[in-house]
Amino acid sequence: MRDKPTPGTKAARCPICGKPSAPSLRPFCSERCKQVDLGRWLSGSYAVPGTPVEPEDKTEG
């Protein structure tokens, strides 16, 4: 699978991993990334205002 950018075509990219998004899962590339984003959104929603949120940089396969 090639990963070459196509000039002139603004393809949506997965906000999670940056891969080209899947048409059926836009803007995500996979169900997994979709769940990841959902989890982030929820955790952000549950965050208490005034509490500094530390950015997580975990990369688990």
> By the criterion CB under 5 A, which residues form the site for Zn ion?
14, 16-17, 19, 29, 33
Q: What is the residue type of 46?
A: Y
φ/ψ bin of 46: left (φ > 0), alpha (ψ from -120 to 50), beta (otherwise):
alpha
35 versus 47: smaller Cβ distance to Zn ion:
35
33 is in an annotated binding site: yes
3 is in an annotated binding site: no
46 versus 58: smaller Cβ distance to Zn ion:
58
Binding residues for Zn(2+): 14, 17, 29, 33
